[in-house]
Amino acid sequence: GAVVSQHPSRVICKSGTSVKIECRSLDFQATTMFWYRQFPKKSLMLMATSNEGSKATYEQGVEKDKFLINHASLTLSTLTVTSAHPEDSSFYICSARAPSANEAFFGQGTRLTVV
């Protein structure tokens, strides 16, 4: 299957700082990528849909000024958690789908810990 890579896999940051997470589709072009967040023992919750060359679409309750999404190319989307707080600590996962495919592929996830 197609490969989606996230970086970093783990990050620890201080409260008040910003953290950038990258999501890359390695062997296909993705016009649309998705960002999810998952708290311990909970299911994945969609945060936003990232569209190449345009503004992201955020789900209800997700602060767009706090979670900045940039999808500058067909193979890269970034999620920046701004002014991170301990409650932002979570597992962040991206997914992407090749235009000709019906299934989505997921990155390995990024474990963010804010201290």
Partner 1 sequence: DAKTTQPTSMDCAEGRAANLPCNHSTISGNEYVYWYRQIHSQGPQYIIHGLKNNETNEMASLIITEDRKSSTLILPHATLRDTAVYYCIVRVARLGGTASKLTFGTGTRLQVTL
Question: Under the rule (CB under 8 A), what is the footprint of partner 1?
Answer: 1, 4, 6, 31-32, 34, 36, 43-46, 49, 51, 57, 91, 93, 95, 97, 99-100, 102-109, 111
Q: How far is the CB of 106 from partner 1 (least distance, A)?
A: 4
Q: Give whichever of 60 and 100 is closer to partner 1, judged by the CB atom.
A: 100
By beta-carbon proximity to partner 1, the closer residue of 82 and 113 is 113
Q: Which residues pair with 76 in a beta bridge?
A: 24, 73
Q: How far is the CB of 1 from partner 1 (least distance, A)?
A: 6
Question: Is the CB of 67 or the CB of 105 nearer to partner 1?
Answer: 105
Query: Using an 8 Å Cβ cutoff, are 81 and 12 in contact?
Result: no
Query: How far are the Cα atoms of 65, 68, 73 from residue 62, in angstroms, in the given order?
Result: 9, 10, 23
E strands present in 26-101 = 32-38, 45-51, 57-58, 67-73, 76-81, 90-96
